[in-house]
Amino acid sequence: MNYFVNATVFTGVEWLTGASVRVDNSRIQEVSTANIVLSDVPDNASIIDLNGDYLVPGMVDLQLYGGSEIFLNEQPTPEAVRHIYNSHARNGTTTLLPTIHSTSLDIMQQAMAAVQVVRNENPFGVPGIHLEGPYFNPIKRGAHSPAFVRTPAEGELEALFSTNADVIRILTLAPEVLTPEQRQTIQARKHANTLLSLGHSNATYRQAMDAFESGIPLATHLYNAMRGFESREPGVVGAVFDHPNVRASIIADGYHCDLATTRIARRLLGDRLFLISDALFANPPRPSFTLGQFVVHFEPDINGSSQSRPGRYVNDEGKLAGSAITLIDCVRLCVERAGLSLTDALRMASTVPAEIINLGHVLGKIQSGYVANLVRLDQRLAVKAVWSSGETRA
């Protein structure tokens, strides 16, 4: 049993100062602003004095490709998934969806099987996989390899959903490249837990609105690899802004989009916007690696070694290829550079994504009954300690 005392707690809804949190059996038992009576604390309990530091819900990252050394496309194995989890958990991301970049059906299925193994061990840490592609519009493929971006071959969708379909939590696709029959097959065969997300798409405003109305509740990395907002054709971006319910992820790394665009999107979308890291390798970044047909290089921040912008990955086409950060870096950038409140940034990194994958009743908040995924941050938002399911991670 752990008692966290003298904490500035963000519950996911409000701030509590001088608060204490009692954790037992991997769950939060009680959150209180009443003084702890030391004589009431059982002998076997540890008291952790936070000295006023922030205690916030563990972050939930719905799109990232790798840990500090391995990424899923290169090594679609349970060991790689565990490594990815451990790398990000050290940095405060206690729930994540390992993400596979457009690749062969065989690699996708290996990755799904690997995530299924780790999900069984750690259901709240790795609740599933995000398949990013390969059914994309080649015009908006971004850093995905043209050799893999495709429309489904005969029988491919049936094969994709034949085994481990329940592990797919998000499937990003461009609806305009699919036939009505293929769209129907996906809707009919996907598991109820699978959310479709519109991305790497050149859909018009009308096509995107129709897709959101017919069973696609999400959009992937707002602004990037989607038809932009124009006066006579509002595009996918305009459809996301205009639709009443669709929710969109954004990569707030300071490179994929100007941080003013993050602020504008938050103002327009409120809790419909959430953060993803899009991380390929993070902490430390890898100098270079092969991704599909391309070699990707790490470039440090051109303005010097700013802590807030830890550099970027660029492939030999000159395109951005994933990010080099973890979700807490996005939170810090949103607060320090985009001018968002810490409350909004933390909700976008934890509370909202937990709700999106239907785990908002156990993850993304510090409340009684929730999984004890907790992050201690100092006043500069540096991670000082992390607990997942009540166990120390960092």
Catalytic residues: 278
Q: What is the DSSP string of 14-46?
A: -EEEEEEEEEETTEEEEEE-SPP-GGGS-TT-E
The two three-digit tokens of residue 199, written as one number: 């991305």
How far is Cα 1 from Cα 19, in angstroms, rounded to an integer?
17
The two three-digit tokens of residue 49, written as one number: 């004095």
Q: Which of 222, 336, 344, 275 is nearest to 92 (CA)?
A: 275
How far is Cα 139 from Cα 174, in angstroms, rounded to an integer?
11
Q: Are the beta carbons of 315 and 294 closer than 8 angstroms?
A: yes
How far CA 227 is from CA of 33, 142, 208, 210, in Å, comes to 48, 12, 10, 15
How far is Cα 331 from Cα 336, in angstroms, rounded to an integer?
9
Q: Which amino acid is at 179?
A: T
Write b or e for each residue in 133-169: b if 16 or more Cβ atoms lie within 10 A of its Cβ, otherwise e: bbbbbeebbbbbbeebbbebeeebbeebbeebebbbb
How far CA 48 is from CA of 142, 165, 337, 342, in Å, comes to 46, 41, 32, 24
Strand blocks (E) in the chain: 2-10, 15-24, 27-32, 46-49, 54-57, 59-64, 93-100, 129-132, 168-173, 195-198, 218-219, 247-250, 273-275, 288-291, 294-299, 312-315, 320-323, 374-377, 383-388, 391-392
